[in-house]
Structure 1
Amino acid sequence: MTTYAADTTPVAPPKFSHREILVTMSGLVIAMLLAMLDNMIVAPALPTIVGDLGGLNHLAWVTTGYILASTVATPIWGKLGDLLGRRITFISSIAVFLIGSVLCGLSQDMGQLIGFRALQGLGAGGLMVGVMAVLAEIVPPRDRGKYQGVMMAVMPIAMIGGPLVGGFITDNLSWRWAFYVNLPLGVAALAVCWFTLAKLPRRGAGKVRIDWTGSALLTTWITALVLITSWGGTEYEWASPQIIGLAVVTVLAFIAFVIVERRVVEPIMPLSVFRNRNFTLAGTLSFIVGFAMFGGMTFLPQFQQFVQGASATNSGLLLMPMMISMMVTSLAGGALISKTGHYRALPIVGTVLMAAGLALFATMGTDTSKTLTSLYMVVLGAGMGCLMQTTMLIAQNSAPLRDVGAATGAATFLRNMGGSLGVSLLGSVYANTLTDTITAEAGSGAASGSAARMTPELLRSLPDAARHLFQQAVTDGVGAVFTWAAVIAATGLLIALAIRHVPLRGFADAKEQPAPAEEQVAAAV
């Protein structure tokens, strides 16, 4: 741990006019588009990537490795932004993301792809937290809803255009271009952000304290935990020495992490923010949203391509109802919050819709129509749209401005952690259920042979009996995934009901006062 004197002098938020905010947000929009497009483009290409490189058992790690690295990096980028300034850390995260993208496209086997996706994720961890932290620094919470509406305008481009681009690339070019396509957009983001973020205050004029020990312990316990959820019951038995050893490492590293964060001057994740009731509840809800969102986006294309016969391009197009629904509810929710200052109803409605949408997906069979699937997507998308921006707004409103980067990083960390564990756990559920179905009908040899390198093109060339068996296995696997996701999402309703309304602060409040204490939160109800 570096031991330098920290400059604790408070930095006043920059004063931006409405026009200056919009100009600054142009760079943020490009960076957000870059972050959102990546997973959207890669998702339709996954079946082809796995068929080309092999390694069905490692399918989840293409996404998990990215999310895991992003999860670890998010609080670090957020804290570095608090200490060094938003501009330099934000631009650095874009550069790391682009380097990872190039290397992903050059991968020759599954191990390389997973490793380079992790590098890409390190950069991605700074993109979303950077966008949210910069927005929090230039716009007070009370007025942030209308500007978030402008930010949400990028969602239809990313979430509808991304799967279409990814599917088109997979069907007509090499899947490697799903990663190379990030380069022109990333270069544009670097150029725009360099100029538009110049007005943000610079920090770190003196020496700062960087919590390297906390960062290392955070990486250790998160990685060990994800390995447990990924390997348990698949690579190793749950009672095996490997899994037990990882469990011990997780517990010990987590305890050491908490001890370190309580003692260092500039903790990478200030535990004080968790003393605020609303922050803890919003963070927990973010965890659940990440679990459901990444799980759904990762495994739904498997059903669409293998069972419903959609091409990679069409499977991206078929996700449009979910994306449009998410966009509309996010825009409407942001406008409602800006107009009324009230937000408590949105997390409650969102968790109900999200759980209902996941439960509907769990009922799908091999004869489920694309129209019915689209209706299920509308329900799920509406739920996630009510939750994503609202939970972040609540978290930021629960922290003082000087810690908004760390608070944003912590909230994003929890959402990414939910996604990492969700994809890892649900990936194991999917692979095990698929293999069990094939084994029950055709034996273990057929299961390992047919599933490992299956692609949609290869599936269409199989005899009817073999094709129907594999489609049933995929359906069983996806059904199990959404069943568990729905159960997890349903617990979010209890959390949403416990959130209390606390008036959204303006910059004067954010600068002069700390985040509301627990007793202040209770008094505000």
Structure 2
Amino acid sequence: MAVTSQRAGTEAGGTAPMTHRQIMEALSGLLIGMFVAILSSTIISNALPQIITDLGGGQSAYTWVVTAALLSMTATTPLWGKLADLVSKKLLVQIALLIWIAGSLLAGLAGSTGTLIACRVIQGIGVGGLSALAQIIMAAMIAPRERGRYSGYLGATFAIATVGGPLLGGVITDTEWLGWRWCFYVGVPFALLALVVLQKTLRLPVVKRDVKVDWAGATLISAAVSLLLIWVTFAGDTYAWMSWQTFAMLGGTALLTAVFLYVESRAGEPIIPLRLFRNRTISLASAASLFVGVAMFAGTVFFSQYFQLARGLSPTMSGVATIPMIAGLFLSSTVSGKLITRTGRWKGWLLAGGMLTTAGLGLLGTIRHDTPYWHTALFMAVLGLGIGMTMQNLVLCTQNQVTAADLGAASSVVTFFRSLGGAIGVSALGAILGTRVTGYVEDGLRALGPEGAAAGQSATAGGGIPDLDLVPEPVRSVLESAYGNGVADVFLYSAPFALLALVVTAFIKEVPLKSRTVAGDTESESAPEPTGTPAGTTTG
């Protein structure tokens, strides 16, 4: 341990980089933690239709089980990032794991959709810490020029958890003596293992500073994001888009945002330092991440409904069916990371990723319930290739602009906007899916005639997620067609956001990656150093 600590301290001084083996030892626990975070999001994807059916929820509950975790993850990401600039990153990542474990255990005991959603909020707080801190810790140890190589490992972890999650969740759900509750329990041993490994291997320099957490800013941004997502979820369903509720919620969101900006402009340690946005790269990367988030989460959340409700696959086979998208993501993130390390150039990969993501979503917008699978697989692979080239590299180009003092805040800003885009996207697209499916079902039932319409209304009574095994023909065909068309519409509506991300990315100026870690930097293009002066450094 003393040797590891010495290495970290040497690296902090910018004189001797860590070897690949030393870095991998330190990253091992971090990668396990990332695996746990991603697994918690993907393992329930194919189990959700069964979960919502068992707990008696509808499309709104389906969406909020996903959105609740994204919301808490989004709202707390800036706080985790700022804390990482002030206190031990190792301690923070361990706290994040413990919060995630608590949320997972409670979620497995949930007896209603409301309780499950509340437990997912707790899980999301832990995931927010793990997602933000993984990028921050990597940047603290590895120079930007070399970071592309290790981003490939993160990409591989993401791919394995994304592929393994739906498959594992499907198998657990289909196994009678386990059941879907084990989807929440199964990751706990991995989280405990990550705690042990991190305790033994992770040693980072800790700058001793007076900790001044901007709780007012954290509360205001959380409230603004929450109010916006509540409006997006219920507008067009519970109340009209043009209604007093809409004006009240959007007005409240605008007011909370204005107060947040005022508080941040005067805070000594702002949760999101506004001066970072003077840097063009950070501003544009944040905007691009917002749009990428919509596309990325749309591509992972709604496939389970398509394969299970439009094509009649089991949860297990639904996970198998998404492998082409994950294979594309794994391939592009790994290959692009290695080539970026070799050349130091990254913008071309961002542009190519934006084009592929837009094309993939546009192509997926043409699928139907009876589209040949190989067509759907090809379109998913294109989407996966695009997301893999884009996701990590937007964080990388941002981290290349800042010094160690702003590393956590800058990294979390990009992650925040990506999560915000995902949360808004899932909420809005989930509401759109519910509306479109209802419309398609009503059209299909009318086409069946009076007797068919009566049978269909009986089968779809209650507004919940249907159990296709209990629905007779020809009503089942109507439902499959409705979900096939509805999910395709969701992908089609997501494509313009990917196009916007591409346009924004085109205006980012490419700056060659640095060859030293931010811990050793003394200059930053983003802004002056914070007013606080480090008093000393330890390891932890």
State the TM bucket, normalised to the shorter chain.
Answer: over 0.9
Please name the residue that 1:4 is paired with: none
How far apart, CA to CA, are the structure 2 residues paired with 1:69 and 1:155?
A: 20
Residues 1:193 and 2:198 aligned together: yes
How far apart, CA to CA, are the structure 2 residues paired with 1:234 and 1:46?
A: 21
Q: TM-score, normalised by structure 2?
A: 0.90
Instruction: Spell out the pairing of 1:204-215 with structure 2 (5 A cutoff).
Output: 205=208, 207-215=210-218
Residues 1:176 and 2:181 aligned together: yes
After alignment, is 42-51 or 488-497 more displaced? 488-497
Counterpart of 1:181, as a letter, is V
Aligned in 2, Cα 1:12/1:261: closer, same or farther, shift over 3 Å? farther
Report the Cα offset of residue 308 of structure 1.
Answer: 1.5
Report the Cα offset of residue 175 of structure 1.
Answer: 0.6
Residues 1:354 and 2:365 aligned together: no
- Please, which of 482, 492, 506 is the counterpart of residue 491 of structure 2? 482
Report the Cα offset of residue 247 of structure 1.
Answer: 1.1
Please name the residue that 2:382 is paired with: 379
Report the Cα offset of residue 508 of structure 1.
Answer: 6.8
How far apart, CA to CA, are the structure 2 residues paired with 1:483 and 1:68?
A: 24
Please name the residue that 2:474 is paired with: 465
Please name the residue that 2:206 is paired with: 202
Residues 1:452 and 2:454 aligned together: no
Report the Cα offset of residue 323 of structure 1.
Answer: 0.5
Instruction: Spell out the pairing of 1:21-420 with structure 2 (5 A cutoff).
Output: 21-56=23-58, 57-172=60-175, 173-197=178-202, 199-203=203-207, 205=208, 207-420=210-423
- Please, which of 430, 434, 444 is the counterpart of residue 433 of structure 2? 430
Counterpart of 1:91, as a letter, is Q
Report the Cα offset of residue 153 of structure 1.
Answer: 3.1
Q: CA RMSD in A?
A: 1.9
For residues 53-89 of structure 1, the C-alpha deviation after alignment (integer angstroms, 9 at most, x for no partner) is: 1221221101000000000111101111111120111
For residues 393-435 of structure 1, the C-alpha deviation after alignment (integer angstroms, 9 at most, x for no partner) is: 0111122221111111111001000100000010010000011
Identical-residue share of aligned pairs (%): 37
Contact 1:438–1:447 under 8 Å retained in 2: no
Please name the residue that 1:499 is paired with: 508
Aligned in 2, Cα 1:85/1:306: closer, same or farther, shift over 3 Å? same
Contact 1:435–1:447 under 8 Å retained in 2: no
Report the Cα offset of residue 15 of structure 1.
Answer: 5.6
- Secondary structure of 2:308's aligned partner: helix
Aligned in 2, Cα 1:474/1:375: closer, same or farther, shift over 3 Å? same
After alignment, is 181-190 or 469-478 more displaced? 469-478
Aligned in 2, Cα 1:343/1:257: closer, same or farther, shift over 3 Å? same
* Aligned residue-pair number: 504
- Secondary structure of 2:47's aligned partner: helix
Report the Cα offset of residue 439 of structure 1.
Answer: 2.6
Contact 2:155–2:388 under 8 Å retained in 1: no
Report the Cα offset of residue 149 of structure 1.
Answer: 2.4
How far apart, CA to CA, are the structure 2 residues paired with 1:411 and 1:32?
A: 17
Aligned in 2, Cα 1:504/1:472: closer, same or farther, shift over 3 Å? same
How far apart, CA to CA, are the structure 2 residues paired with 1:454 and 1:128?
A: 31
How far apart, CA to CA, are the structure 2 residues paired with 1:207 and 1:278?
A: 30
Contact 2:143–2:518 under 8 Å retained in 1: no
Aligned in 2, Cα 1:517/1:396: closer, same or farther, shift over 3 Å? closer
Report the Cα offset of residue 231 of structure 1.
Answer: 1.2
Contact 2:86–2:210 under 8 Å retained in 1: no
- Secondary structure of 2:43's aligned partner: helix
Report the Cα offset of residue 513 of structure 1.
Answer: 3.7
Counterpart of 2:479, as a letter, is F
Contact 1:54–1:452 under 8 Å retained in 2: no
Report the Cα offset of residue 240 of structure 1.
Answer: 2.8
Report the Cα offset of residue 303 of structure 1.
Answer: 1.1
Counterpart of 1:481, as a letter, is V
How far apart, CA to CA, are the structure 1 residues paired with 2:490 and 2:458?
A: 19
Contact 1:238–1:244 under 8 Å retained in 2: no
Counterpart of 1:280, as a letter, is S
Counterpart of 2:20, as a letter, is H
Instruction: In structure 1, list runs of 5 or more residues that go unmatched.
Output: 1-10, 519-525
How far apart, CA to CA, are the structure 1 residues paired with 2:435 and 2:34?
A: 35
Contact 2:36–2:190 under 8 Å retained in 1: yes
Report the Cα offset of residue 18 of structure 1.
Answer: 3.0
Aligned in 2, Cα 1:442/1:508: closer, same or farther, shift over 3 Å? closer
Contact 1:42–1:166 under 8 Å retained in 2: yes
